[in-house]
Amino acid sequence: MTQTISHYINGELDAGSGGRTGAVFNPSTGEEIARLHYGDRATLDRAVSTAAQAGQRWARQSHAARQAVMFKLRELVIANTDRLAEIIGREHGKTILDAKGEIGRGIEAIEFACNEPHVTKGEYATNVGGDIDVFSMRVPVGVVGIISPFNFPIMVPVAMMAMAIAVGNGIVWKPSERVPSAAMEFARLCEEAGLPKGVFNIVHGDKEIVDGMLEHPGIAAISFVGSTPVGEYIYRKGTSHNKRVASFTGGKNHMVVMPDADLEAAASAFVSAGFGSASQRCMAVSLLVPVGQATAERLRELVIPKINALKIGPYNDPAADFGAVISAQSKQTVLRAIDEAVKAGAEMVIDGRDIKVAGHENGYYIGPTLFDHVTTEMELYKQEVFGPVRGIVRAASFDEAIAITNLHEFGNGAVIFTRDGKSAHRFMSEVEAGMIGVNVPVPLPVGYFNFGGLRRSKFGESHMFGPDAARFYTKLKTVSQRWPNPDQQAMPVSLAFDASA
Ligand code: NAD
């Protein structure tokens, strides 16, 4: 029998009042494995008011008490990594190893959130004038709405939520409707860690719930990760409803390889960072940009056998390098992008269209596909392809490689492989990307640094992870205080505007 997945409100499973449901699939087999309840506005209202009330009580708990819950949550996520990885793999299609990797990065965000007293404590200045002390304090924003994508069912939402919870907010999370089960498991772990009921709530659904969140007067802040068109819409609509919005969106990450680079290492890095997770990562390397003809020829020679050696299979095949893409629809979109690239005149070097995975004929598999001689006019350069299709864009010079990288509308990550410090410095100064790698293929920073792209890869000023997250999920107040001095004479009336009075 197909499992049914409900909302999670005030510590209880809740079927909601919407009545709509949607299918959840196992991409490795193509089977429907669950029905998901889609929430409506009434369900959302319940979740928001629960989060508001429980969040206020949670915020009144001491830093130490909240930290204790976060420490416990960290231990529980570690202890349940295998279980979570299985749940992620089954609904997402990524390999168990890959799922464990994302859980590890989620744990980093929880670890950083354990530092919340340090990153939220304020500044203090004594006797700024007339016995007045001034200090700043940070208080939780209230209720935070989290809207997450399918491609990291745990890492991305936990990267957003860990600090939001730790600083004392109430949470309403709308997971991707394609991968809802990891969220339910995370709820169980929060409960076991001692997070009070109602602080953390899940409402499943689609655009209806997202719109409800963006308009809801009870939600103070929205954290979104997903595609650029949706992220831009969310930013504009959310801010027009007077919310603070942090929106992290698409990527098309270039990897520039200089003639002096270790080409063997660069080739391995391109294949790993390009095809990992069936290329369904915002930080995946999408385009290889070799500088000079000789570099391009040699790299092409080196990457072909490495790509041909990749094994594609179901998420639970330990020998698989990557698995299926998320849905039948996504598979069609990726296949269309391949056909279009062929029509546009890119040279198809490796064709993954006809791959068959024995015993999993209905899974959404696409083999690794490589194009050479991609140009900046082609859709394959312009569009983010969320599937295993990568391109080589040849650059005649370093200047041209930088220009190609900066021409793209996205600026999530960019990478250079070189042995020359001067080239690396020029790259990091001139390339408009939020995360830069130097001989590092996926420059996803550790949890105590800020994460976020530039250009149309991010809307809003805040970052995920790092100290910026603590600022985003708190409001700043600045207090000027003077306590009565018994020896002082009564204060005379003065209408002068005097800061030192
Ligand atoms: P998506 O934009 O389709 O969905 C993201 C979320 O928005 C989901 O919860 C979904 O239900 C909701 N949504 C979808 N369409 C909507 C609409 N029309 N109106 C309102 N809400 C809507 O993204 P996805 O396919 O789940 O994830 C892949 C995308 O996420 C890629 O573009 C990838 O680059 C991006 N991503 C970015 C980062 C980053 O940090 N910049 C990280 C991970 C993924």
Q: Is 452 in the pocket of ligand 1 (CB under 6 A)?
A: no
Q: Is 499 a residue whose pLDDT tops 60?
A: no
Q: What is the mean pLDDT of the chain?
A: 96
Output the pLDDT for position 282: 94
CA 390 to chain centre: 21
Query: Is any ligand 1 atom within 6 A of the Cβ of residue 154?
Result: no
**Closest C-alpha among 283, 172, 184, 277 to residue 223:** 172
Longest dimension (CA), the chain: 91
When pLDDT is cut at 50, 70 and 90, the band that residue 1 belongs to is low
How many Cα neighbours within 13 Å face the side chain of 43? 28
Looking at per-residue pLDDT, the higher value among 402 and 495 belongs to 402
**Mean pLDDT along residues 181-187:** 98
Cα separation values, 326 from 38, 386, 427, Å: 19, 9, 34
CA end-to-end distance (rounded Å), the chain: 74
Atom of ligand 1 nearest to the CA of 386: 31
Cα(227) to ligand 1 centroid in Å equals 4
How far apart (Å, rounded) are the C-alpha atoms in residues 273 and 427?
A: 19
pLDDT tens digits, residue range 194-227?
A: 999 999 999 999 999 999 999 999 999 999 999 9
Given a cut of 50, whether residue 333 has pLDDT beyond it is yes
To test the ligand 1 pocket, which listed residue (161, 179, 210, 241) has its Cβ within 8 A of the most ligand atoms?
210
List the catalytic residues: 282
Give pLDDT tens digits for 267-296: 999 999 999 999 999 999 999 999 999 999
Higher pLDDT, 119 or 90: 90
Is the shortest distance between the CB of 222 and ligand 1 below 6 Å? no
Q: How far is the CA of 226 from the centre of ligand 1 (A)?
A: 2
- 128 torsion bin: left (phi>0), alpha (psi -120 to 50), beta (else): alpha
CB 134 within 8 Å of CB 125: yes
pLDDT of residue 264: 97
Does the pLDDT of residue 500 top 60, yes or no? no
What distance in Å separates the CA atoms of residue 299 and residue 390, rounded to the nearest whole number?
Answer: 14
pLDDT at 497 (0 to 100): 78
Averaged over 27-54, what is the pLDDT? 97
Give strand pairing partners of 389: 369
Surface-to-core class of residue 2, CB atoms within 10 Å of its CB (0-12 exposed, 13-18 middle, 19+ buried): exposed
State the distance from the centre of ligand 1 to the C-alpha of 230, rounded, in angstroms.
Answer: 7
Mutational test site, ligand 1, from 38, 208, 282, 325, max ligand atoms within 8 Å of CB: 282
Nearest-CA neighbor of 196 among 42, 80, 56?
Answer: 56
Q: What's the pLDDT score for residue 463? A: 87
pLDDT of residue 299 exceeding 50? yes
Residue 146 has pLDDT above 80, yes or no: yes
pLDDT number for residue 498: 65
Query: What digits encode the pLDDT tens for the residues 417-468?
Result: 999 999 999 999 999 999 999 999 988 889 889 899 999 999 998 888 888 9
* CA–CA distance, 438 with 427 (Å, rounded to integer): 9
> Does residue 474's CB lie within 6 angstroms of at least one atom of ligand 1?
no
pLDDT value at 501 more than 70: no
Per-residue pLDDT, 462: 87
% of the chain surpassing 70 pLDDT: 99
Confidence tier at 247 by pLDDT (50, 70, 90): very high
Question: So what's the pLDDT on residue 484?
Answer: 81
Cβ of 383 closer than 6 Å to ligand 1, yes or no, is no
- Alpha carbon distance 204, 227 (integer Å): 18
Residue 124 CA, ligand 1 centroid: distance in Å: 41
pLDDT at residue 120 in the model: 92
Q: How far apart are CA 325 and CA 314, in angstroms?
A: 10
pLDDT for 461 equals 87
User: How many angstroms separate the Cα of 426 from the Cα of each of 252, 399, 402, 430?
Assistant: 20, 10, 9, 6
pLDDT digits (tens, 9 = 90+) for 94-141: 999 999 999 999 999 999 999 999 989 999 999 998 889 999 999 999
Residue-wise pLDDT for 373-401, tens only, equals 999 999 999 999 999 999 999 999 999 99
Q: Over the stretch 50-83, which tens digit does the pLDDT of each residue have?
A: 999 999 999 999 999 999 999 999 999 999 999 9
Instruction: Report the C-alpha gap between 433 and 411 in whole angstroms.
Output: 4
CB of 404 closer than 6 A to ligand 1? no
Q: Which whole number is the average pLDDT over 223-251?
A: 97
**Which domains are present in the chain?**
40-249+457-479 (3.40.605.10), 253-438 (3.40.309.10)
